[in-house]
Amino acid sequence: MREVREIEINSFADTLKVRPWPVTPPPSKEEVMKVYARRKAEEFGKFTEEILGFESVFDKPEALQGLKVLDVGIWRLGNAFASSLLAELGAEVIKVEPPTGDPLRQLTPFGREEYMLKDAERGEPCGLEFIAEMRNKYSITLNLETPEGRELYKKLACHADVIIENYPPGQFDEWGIGYRQISKLNPRVIYCWIGILGQWGPLKDRVSKYGQWMLEPFAQAANSYIHNTGFPQDLLPRGSGGDPTRSGVWIADYAAGEQAAVNILAALYYRDEFSGRGQFIEVTSAEALMEIMDFDISWYGFNRSIKARTGGWDPNLNQYAWNPCKDGYMMIGGQTDRLWYRICMCIERELPQFGRLITEDPFLKEIAARNAFQALVKTYTLTTMWLRENTRAQVEKKLLEYEVAAGPVMTIDEVAEFPHFKYRRWVDIIEDSNYGELMYAVSPNSYQHRTPARVKWMGRPLGYDNAEIYRRYLGLGYEQLRELKEKGVI
């Protein structure tokens, strides 16, 4: 653990300094042991820490060691996330980029170059989004628009177990390097295409308004995700609003990436255990997100209801919502009678009116009845009357005394300082040889007993591994690479 530095704020200029991390050290083992002891779980606590803890992650084998993956995608995160998941589990992932680089390298908040990282060797700026999804991957450049580049690609593809691709529908097939052609050369290849709407069907060639590729937001928009995220017009947020809202991240692409990784692992099992042959997989962001859209489609099919936005309120449960409080927003959850009355008791201590208007209301005593919309309005109005007097920390403390699930809506600096995550090393810092010290969230797959996922490095500059990969798989020497480079092939 790094040395803990103090931050002293004496002037406005001090507030602009980069904060040290961690500001406070994580809880010690002794402190956590006391937590385990409270429920007599010392032994189980020790056991799980021993087999899942971060200390031994790098001494353990990797589940997918020896698996070779080509990630031939640009612009989107679906392919990048799918191959990140495989790379974290030990696969050798080679990211094939055009000689100009994946355009995703250039994406940075508001186009500001100061938020990009420069690699130590060439000082080329690279966006953080790209670096985060470049973990454990090798970067090579290859110009697939040249016949020579496509020949090299074919040779490379002969070595691959998995190819993840996201070019426009049929583009690789047209170039003679699609699944139909590659599977003849390498029948064991598992070929996964990730797109937005799909490479077959009436909308397969649809581009966005100005003729660009279909990108992730179209997937969010295409499956009602955006429509039912945000506040309804009748219940505006603090200022004004009520408009549909996108997710803060490219969630449809991430959903597609996760689905693609599951598909690929299933196809690998089938290949290695049964058929000995690879297969073609297609995953689309719109459909991947549609699958996790809760009950919207069933409800529509049932009685043509269009599920509305309800902002921070869950339409199925009361209480189960985040509402404003003194210094932000507070999530309070509890549907069953046990939790309902505990919340009531806690709030009544300080706001007796809550007891008169909520606890004593006969209508609200029944679980199903208190889900009615007017009951939500009533409950949350009074709850917020209490919340406005309390900060998130105060609310959390008071509700936890009553064993009620309560969690503040946290910002990322608070997440990075959250003692639980610091203790588990879920938030960590990596010393990357190219990009220096980077903070990152450890893969959730790294809490595995025998083959945990791990992050070995974060980003890679463009074409960093050309020499290594082309030598290893195609036997190309330095001179040949130089010639190819001059011709614009790599």
* Residues of this chain that bind another protein (CB under 8 A): 202-203, 231-239, 242, 308-311, 323-324, 353, 356-357, 360-363, 373-374, 377-378, 380-385, 387-388
Cα-flanking dihedrals φ and ψ of residue 377, to 5°?
A: -60, -45
Nearest distance from C-beta of residue 381 to another protein, angstroms: 4
Nearest distance from C-beta of residue 1 to another protein, angstroms: 39
Minimum CB distance to another protein smaller for 112 or for 238: 238
DSSP output for 379-437? HHHHHHHHHTTS-HHHHHHHHHHTT-EEEE---HHHHHT-HHHHHHTSEEEEEETTTEE
H helix intervals, 77-215 = 78-88, 128-132, 147-157, 171-174, 179-185
206 vs 200: CA distance, rounded Å? 11
Minimum CB distance to another protein smaller for 220 or for 323: 323
Nearest distance from C-beta of residue 299 to another protein, angstroms: 13
Minimum CB distance to another protein smaller for 26 or for 311: 311
484 vs 490: CA distance, rounded Å? 6
Nearest distance from C-beta of residue 411 to another protein, angstroms: 19
Nearest distance from C-beta of residue 208 to another protein, angstroms: 15
Minimum CB distance to another protein smaller for 125 or for 241: 241
Minimum CB distance to another protein smaller for 201 or for 301: 201
Residue whose pair of structure tokens reads 């589990």 in the numeric block: 89
137, 165 Cβ separation under 8 angstroms: no
Nearest distance from C-beta of residue 232 to another protein, angstroms: 5
Q: How many CB atoms are closer than 10 A to CB 122?
A: 11
- Tell which residue, 387, 413, 414, 230, has the closest CA to residue 319: 387
451, 62 Cβ separation under 8 angstroms: yes
CA distances from 21 to 336, 437, 483 (A): 39, 11, 47
224 vs 297: CA distance, rounded Å? 10
Nearest distance from C-beta of residue 407 to another protein, angstroms: 18
Cα-flanking dihedrals φ and ψ of residue 162, to 5°?
A: -135, 135
Minimum CB distance to another protein smaller for 10 or for 303: 303
Nearest distance from C-beta of residue 371 to another protein, angstroms: 14
Amino acid occupying residue 254: Y
